[in-house]
Amino acid sequence: MSPTNYTALPSEADNESHENSQSKTGRLASFWTQLLDLYHRNVGLLLIVASQAFLASVNVAVKKLNTIDPPVPTFELIFIRMAITYMFSIAYMTYTGVESPFFGPKGVRLLLMFRGFTGFFGLFGIYFALRYLSLSDATVLTFLSPLCTSVAGAIFLAETVGRKEIFAGVFQPGRGQYLSQDQRHLISFIEHGVNFTSLSNSTISNSSPPPPSATPTERLIAVGVSLVGVLGSAGAYTSIRAIGTRAHALHSMVSFSGYSVIVSAIGLAVTHTPIVIPTSPIWLLLLLEIGVFGFCAQIFLTLGFQRETASRGTLAIYTLVGTLIIVGSALWVAVTKDNKGGSEGSKGVTAGAGGSSTGADAEGEQGILLKHLEEGIELDGESEDTVQAS
């Protein structure tokens, strides 16, 4: 008679282990579901945040190109960036078979034209401001764009503006100015690398900070042009939201880039501005960065505003712009540190006749911290001399 095989019953320890495993799996699945839900509800904000990261790099490159001798004109920077954006957009829509790649769908063509018109002034405002203002000051002025966009969305699109949007619009510009002051001290720390041993030995030179590259009149004009750019940016954001998904995201970019290319080319011709061709490979790479990163920034920005309301979408600009001031400052110091003293690589070749321009000073805001430390050392030295004399 063959022996009978019996199946062992699970013990209480095995049951508890199985239940704990199922509980952990259930909690992990619940957490993953909540994470995906959070992502889907805020994907528009994340896209706008990504666009601001690309725009920070673009602004640093623009600021740096304004420091070569002679500086790259604003119209030329706009032409290069928007020509690359236009070619990429048309090539992609032609390859994928998107209808009406040049003019967009018939129902939204007027809105696309308005988006291109206002977008050009928004872009010109920030680029012109970067020519005469510091990177931090030009960035702080962009704090006004979200507030204007929220108001425009409430008036023209009947969107609801929440308390968070109002609070951010009222208080963030002041916070941005505070961050810009901290950024200047950060530049001093990074740029000079304070050596406290040399400070104690009073070996700091008495050289004063270099004079500002722009006159007060030029800075005032830059602020005024930047405020016009704020209105242009608000109009562009609002028009993107009004267009929504009735047109492809690249339709908006084609309208914006095409209008900017035409107007910037006319501006170069009318003002008889000579074309500046940088001779250093670094400057050529910066020009390419402006075009490629500008394209990425615009595509993310357009996709983000198609998914979010105008007021809520602009909150993403508030959440990141303070960090961008600090990150942009570090990048700014990194790209300027190797060109101190006016090296030959910072020269550009001017093509065309008529007109001359002087290079903007790349070190317009250095020495703030060192100057205060220097004054403190001099006061300590004078007090020691007084004690010895007595």
pLDDT computed for residue 133 by the predictor: 87
CA atoms 181, 185, 188, 190: torsion sign: negative
Answer whether residue 93 shows pLDDT above 90.
yes
- Interior angle at CA 382, CA 381 and CA 387, nearest 5: 100
Q: How many CB atoms lie within 10 A of CB 228?
A: 14
Strands 348-351 and 275-278: antiparallel
| Residue-wise pLDDT tens digits, 304-322 | 888 887 777 776 766 555 5
**Average pLDDT for 362-378:** 48
Tell me the pLDDT band of 37, cut-offs 50, 70 and 90.
confident
pTM, 2 dp: 0.69
pLDDT computed for residue 325 by the predictor: 55
| Residue-wise pLDDT tens digits, 151-208 | 888 899 888 776 666 665 555 554 444 444 444 444 444 444 444 344 334 333 333 3
**Average pLDDT for 317-334:** 57
For residues 298 and 180, give the distance between their C-alpha atoms in angstroms, rounded to a whole number: 25
Minimum mean pLDDT range among 1-5, 233-237, 243-247, 257-261: 1-5
Domain boundaries, the chain: 44-169+214-318
